[in-house]
Structure 1
């Protein structure tokens, strides 16, 4: 069996006459943290959208644990255990922090589409919800409304709701975007903690986060892979320095 959790072969996406992603061959090793970086417009989010089936590839294949998932629907992708967070925090603002996590945990009960059920039916999920909140450092905020959390803690809550699905593969789209330094440090520690026993692919602009966390880095430029390797390898690549690290992009 390959040591890769996720692979792409010749992954390509065209929008009309514009090629957003061209012939991308990505190999994300199991139980590692892998970063996808590059200047704005390099194709990073498009790659994420292809992996999670927001878009269908124009060409190429996507393999998850050796299985071709190119034709899978977004729902099938999620059931396989590939879960994604987005750049914009997506929580229920007028629900409590704990209830946000309990809603995510409903999949365990098979009641996520039974909207007429009493909220009391979720009480069996309280213990696991509090375990997850403790894991991400939000236990003290369990009864607070999500809308009242700081931006950094809202992003932390979003990670907790994704962890409720117990995903083997977690895709994080710019998890530290717009955060104050103390929140960046908190999220960085959290990512390192939740990476134990799972695979993480992340898009991230903060190079200190990438250098501290990531085992492998793939650099995109104009939809193509420019370089791939450890932080030391890619940061010393002359082409990367010219196109990305030396170009003023944080």
Structure 2
């Protein structure tokens, strides 16, 4: 089913013992765009991602992907639809090489993730595809490097490669530049722009220069609710956004 918006939420709400972490969020992510969720700490951004991928169950509301209601689906079902996410904390296998990390993701896509008894020779059929993905994120020279020995920025690029191995339609990137130096931020921002050329990306991001550079549309959250939405040039001039970030009215 082809729709203008690849993902929509309607009245999405998550309550914890009466506290509304996310409240009546109506989000629309345009197909083929880069869409950012921004807001101060505690605004509910990661909670929204957890709801979209069903790591948390909504208290109420709907989630639609490609026009189909996925509100009741399990995380594995949603991943199979092509909604794939990364996390704030690095999630690579430290004592496996970059190539092996990507190969594990390819095994999962092929349905052989738990075939641990297979000899490594049977997995080498995936090496060419794994190398192509590493080259796509400029990690070809790190193919034989253990993930634990890679610089932090390159580990984040490796996570993007493993996400791409699952052939996502919608990539959800949670703080992809968190904790990086300026050079790594620029490298990962360019990488996100590159991989977004053929898919939709939604990202939670604190670095507003990255948001300005990459994103077509921005949703600002505050206290679990949408404060405002629009392109960066419009949102950045909204006095409510400045107040939400620094605590004073513009």
The two structures have a TM-score, normalised by structure 2, of: 0.97
Where does residue 127 of structure 2 map in the other structure?
126
Where does residue 98 of structure 1 map in the other structure?
99
Where does residue 143 of structure 2 map in the other structure?
142
Where does residue 34 of structure 1 map in the other structure?
35
The root-mean-square deviation of aligned C-alpha atoms, in Å, is 1.1
Where does residue 243 of structure 1 map in the other structure?
244
Q: Does 1:59 align with 2:81?
A: no
Describe the SS at the equivalent of 2:186: helix
Where does residue 185 of structure 1 map in the other structure?
186
Aligned partners of 1:192, 1:228: CA distance in 2, in Å?
21
Q: Which runs of 4+ in 1 moved over 6 A?
A: none
Where does residue 217 of structure 1 map in the other structure?
218
Where does residue 232 of structure 2 map in the other structure?
231
Is the CA contact 2:109–2:165 (under 8 Å) kept in the aligned structure 1? no
- Answer with 116-125 or 101-110: which moved more: 101-110
* Deviations, residues 143-187 of structure 1 (Å, cap 9, x unaligned): 011110001001110110000011010000000000010000000
Aligned partners of 1:98, 1:74: CA distance in 2, in Å?
26
Shift of 1:110: 2.3
Shift of 1:107: 2.8
Q: Structure 1: 5+ residue runs without aligned partners?
A: none
Aligned partners of 1:103, 1:186: CA distance in 2, in Å?
25
Where does residue 206 of structure 1 map in the other structure?
207
Shift of 1:118: 1.4
Where does residue 111 of structure 1 map in the other structure?
112
Aligned partners of 2:46, 2:108: CA distance in 1, in Å?
27
Aligned partners of 2:120, 2:111: CA distance in 1, in Å?
14
Shift of 1:113: 1.5
Aligned partners of 2:116, 2:233: CA distance in 1, in Å?
51
Shift of 1:7: 0.3
Q: Structure 2: 5+ residue runs without aligned partners?
A: none
